[in-house]
Structure 1
Amino acid sequence: MTSPHRSAARIQIGTTLRRMREEAGVPRERVGEVLHCTLTKVSNIENAISGIKQAELEKLLDLYGADDETREDLFALNSDAHRRRPKSKIGGPIPPWLRRILDVEAIATEALYSSFELIPAVLQTEYYTRALMAGVGLSGEVLEKNLYLRMERQALLTERQPPLKLWAVISEPAFRANIGGPEIMRDQLKHVLAMTELDNVVVQVMPQGAGAHALTGTTLTLFRLPNKMPSLVSVDTPFGDHFEDGVNHVEKAGRWFDHTRAKALGVEESRELLTRITEETG
């Protein structure tokens, strides 16, 4: 039997609704009562097998005590899931689109990451992240809230069972960027080296002078999801992450990542280079 199509928007809605239900302490049976539906349908909505009508979504957001910003974001996203219209971006201390990204990441089984200039969020230290956020103008309560969410993501590699599998290809300039100064950068490098000791974390370095590759200039994450959900590609932009779920785009991103990691240094060579950069930093 062919699996039903699950758009990027539908997956984000389902994962977000599941998180909100769990945070509110609402059992699935209560959701079934509110929507007048079976537990199977509740599960199908949260696993993106079934879509959700706007009226049903409104009932659940009322049940979970959602704020106005989250409501507006999910209503717009649900319209996109049904009609594929361009959706608006909503601002605020913690943008709803960012929460949706975290919800997708939280259920992912594997993340394939490539970047020329950034260490992935799940490998960042607090002070490295703080320096990055301050560099783009965040401060005060907004910075602290975003920092808290970023730090929570590290638990996916170490505390979740089973843990997230991460394969990251990061260009050498990212490790020489001096984000926050030599001391912060050195601690960040040590942290990456320590995390590569985990069985579920692989880091390869694309050395300077390696030339162009398939993902040059792109910060991209390919998420593999459970329950036969299709993979999603997240591309980092100045306006937030943009998800792609088209089969052709996902397959092409997978091929590009394979070509990129084949061109990078091997795992042990990468560790040796990172060790040298750490010793040189400061």
Structure 2
Amino acid sequence: MALARQTIERLQLGLALTRLRTQAKKSQGEAGAVIGRTPGRISQVENGKGGLGVDELTKLLDFYGAHGRERETILALGAAARRRAPRRGYVDNLPEPFQRLAELQAAATRVRWYECGVIPGLVQSKDYVRALMALSNSIYWSDSESETAERTAFRLDHQRRVFETGAAKRIEIVFTEDSLDNVIGDGSVMRGQVLHLLQLLESYPALDIGVVPAGTPDNPALGGGLVVLDFAHSTPVGFATSLHGPAPYYDQPEDVEPMRRIFARVKELALSRADTRALLIGRIKEGT
């Protein structure tokens, strides 16, 4: 039987089902037996290369003990994964989209992330994350200290999962120099953020951080942000970061290739890893 064309929805569904199965401590064989499928079929679904019917997915979620909003979200993902109509972009309007973005990044073999004016999430320090979430409270979500704390904890766990779990991956981070000048929290938070970047460069040789110097002409990505993810056995995925609300994903070559070219261009404009390190050390010496 021919495999279904891989889409972002199928990839997200597969990663979510893998996580639930792992949490439930079940094997692919056990999962397959519940719905009358082979372990190979479960593997295809978890790799985003196969779909499941409504009854099959419902039985699996019962077997994994999935309830509440997460269950509803995965059922909705299953419906989206079964659609065959061609589409250019996919906007994740389901609850907790940041959970699925984190799973995609953790599964990727290569992560390319660019931001203008803000430090990319993967390399934010703990205090920077806390300050960023605190200023977002009552603006991007209703006033809730518990939600602020949960989002902070999730981002820090997201970083750990991407850097420390799964197969080794190549991570390339580029951001504009004004990201170091736009104060989040206070001066001590920003100084700690610079130290955090230096510590990451020392700890992860496969991590490449580049800063686009202030005043660099002809930056094609001013005012925007993007993430491009490569996978060992899946089509690349592009993700356009947004100020607020759902952000679109892309998996068609006509969309992902321009995003790759944009990243390649800002990478050319950025300082090398060694020169970025020197810039960051200079900032510390200057008291930034």
- TM > 0.5 fold call: yes
Q: CA deviation at 1:189?
A: 0.6
Q: Confirm whether residue 214 of structure 1 aligns to residue 215 of structure 2.
A: no
Listed one character per residue, the Cα deviations across residues 14-65 of structure 1 (whole Å, up to 9, x for unaligned) are: 0111011101111212111111000100000000111222222211222222
Listed one character per residue, the Cα deviations across residues 105-151 of structure 1 (whole Å, up to 9, x for unaligned) are: 11111100100022222211111101111111164221222222211
Q: Confirm whether residue 247 of structure 1 aligns to residue 253 of structure 2.
A: yes
Specify which of 237, 240, 243 is matched with residue 235 of structure 1. Answer: 240
Report the equivalent of 1:225. 231
Q: Confirm whether residue 33 of structure 1 aligns to residue 33 of structure 2.
A: yes
Aligned length: 276
CA pair 273-235 structure 1, distance change in 2 beyond 3 A: same
Q: Confirm whether residue 170 of structure 1 aligns to residue 171 of structure 2.
A: no
Q: Is the 8 A contact 1:121 1:153 kept in 2?
A: no
| TM-score, length of structure 1 as denominator length | 0.90
Distance 2:166 2:286 in 1: 36
Q: Is the 8 A contact 2:16 2:74 kept in 1?
A: no
Q: Confirm whether residue 23 of structure 1 aligns to residue 23 of structure 2.
A: yes
Q: CA deviation at 1:158?
A: 4.7
Q: Is the 8 A contact 1:77 1:87 kept in 2?
A: no
Distance 1:245 1:3 in 2: 17
Distance 2:78 2:51 in 1: 8
Distance 1:7 1:218 in 2: 24
Amino acid at match of 2:103: D
Specify which of 147, 156, 159 is matched with residue 154 of structure 1. Answer: 159
Distance 2:180 2:91 in 1: 35
Distance 1:6 1:90 in 2: 19
Q: Is the 8 A contact 1:124 1:188 kept in 2?
A: yes
Report the equivalent of 1:126. 126
SS at match of 1:199: coil
Q: CA deviation at 1:4?
A: 5.5
Report the equivalent of 2:49. 49
Distance 1:169 1:220 in 2: 10
Report the equivalent of 2:275. 269
Specify which of 183, 188, 191 is matched with residue 188 of structure 2. Answer: 183
SS at match of 2:40: helix
Distance 1:164 1:252 in 2: 22
Listed one character per residue, the Cα deviations across residues 175-209 of structure 1 (whole Å, up to 9, x for unaligned) are: 11121101111011111012112211101101111
Q: Is the 8 A contact 2:92 2:247 kept in 1?
A: no
Distance 1:88 1:177 in 2: 29
SS at match of 1:19: helix
Distance 2:92 2:239 in 1: 17
| TM-score, length of structure 2 as denominator length | 0.88
Structure 2 unaligned blocks of 5 or more: none
